[in-house]
Structure 1
Amino acid sequence: MIRVLDKLLLFIYSLAIGVVSVLAFSAAFHWLPEKWINDMTRDLYGNVKWLQVTVIAVSAALFLLSVRFFYVSLRRSHASAPSIDQRTEFGDIRISLETVENLALKAAGRQRGVKDLRARIHLGEAGIDITIRAIVDGETSIPVITEDIQKSVKSHVEEITGIPVSVVTVFVANIIQTANYKSRVE
């Protein structure tokens, strides 16, 4: 949510700075009438309260946005690749979620009748939650193939990583239509 807000603020900031720079550029090349600039300056220093309030509000907003972006640019990003951290007697072990995802795909891909796979990994309370999305050939029983995928993925990931797998969910998205061509004899 904060990243979306920062992107929106950056867009507004860029737009405002762009408008100010075009006005300054135009004034420097005398593309704006001198009377218009003199009238604007006189109104700003005169009794035109709405103009004074508007300039103060826009200037304050741009200053606050500048401070925000300065802070964001100096802030250290602690965002690294999501991983599962374990501590052993010899030190720390970090296994990326991408590694676990690839292990799950490898185990699921060994099953016959599976044509296309995708995996998502979530860290749950009792271990890893793995969701496998599969497209199957339509020749194999779906309950049998999904159970085989679940068993295979659970045992393979637990064996390789040492991390308990709490749930393996298999979502069969579709089946592949195999083309059966019958030869025609005349």
Structure 2
Amino acid sequence: MAKIVDRLMLFIYSLSIGVISVVAILLLSGAIPYDLTYNQERQFFWAGIIVASVLFLLSIRFFYISIRRDRTVTNSIDQRTEFGDIQISVETIENLCLKAASRVRGVKDLKSRIKVSQSGLEIAIRAVVDGEESIPTLTTDVQKQVHDFVEDTTGIPVSNVSVYIANVVQAPSFKSRVE
């Protein structure tokens, strides 16, 4: 409610300042005749026109802000079922991808990106592996795990899961000390 009142006040303010600045520009430029004694020279003639012009431009900007619609972008995937609409945020799907990929043994430091296309979700997983297992086998497991988990959990078709192996880290080896 306060947002609507603020926008209404901004609308009225910008409209009134715009009208006042247009009248000031017209008066100072001589388009509207007015009677001034020549004792009051036009010493601030150009300064007045510049100030009125700046106020007019500001009022146009504020007027635009007061009437534009909010474009809050909520990145979500919308689905329609027979019971109603469902919205799942992209962040939720990214977290589901991370959860599924972390189930694969040997994968660490995961990051995910989601792209929505006509054919379904395109998922990109960035991972660091420990190097203990075959990378092709590991990436295939990650792709299958993420694909199946996201499709089963959300009901949204997954068209592509790409895996990028950023690095291989060595597993720490602990040597036992003999004393």
**Same fold by TM-score greater than 0.5:** yes
Q: Per-residue CA shift, 1:131-177, capped at 9, x if unaligned? A: 11111112121111111110111111111111110111111111223
Q: Output aligned runs, 1:162-173, within 5 Å.
A: 162-173=155-166
The residue number in structure 1 matching 2:78 is 85
Three-state SS of the structure 2 residue aligned to 1:69 is: helix
Answer 1 or 2: which has greater helix percent.
Answer: 1
TM-score normalised by structure 1 residue count: 0.65
Report the Cα offset of residue 74 of structure 1.
4.5
Could you tell me how far apart the structure 2 residues matched to 1:156 and 1:78 are?
32
* 3-state SS, counterpart of residue 147 of structure 2: helix
- The 1:56/1:174 distance shift into structure 2, 3 A limit, reads farther
Aligned length: 139
Q: CA deviation at 1:88?
A: 1.4
* Matching residue's letter, 1:109: S
Mapped partners of 1:62, 1:167: distance in 2:
54
Change beyond 3 A, Cα 1:79–1:184 = same
The 1-side partners of 2:163 and 2:51 are apart by 54
Structure 2: runs of 5+ lacking an equivalent:
1-40
| Corresponding position: 1:65 with 2:78 | no
Please state whether the residue corresponding to 1:60 is helix, strand or coil. helix
| Identity in percent | 58
The 2-side partners of 1:58 and 1:143 are apart by: 69
| Aligned Cα root-mean-square deviation (Å) | 2.5
**Structure 1: gaps of 5 or more residues:** 1-40, 46-51
Q: 1:113 aligns with which of 94, 106, 115?
A: 106
- Give the aligned partner of residue 44 of structure 1: 44
Structure 1 position 118, deviation (Å):
0.8
Specify the SS of the correspondent of 2:112.
strand
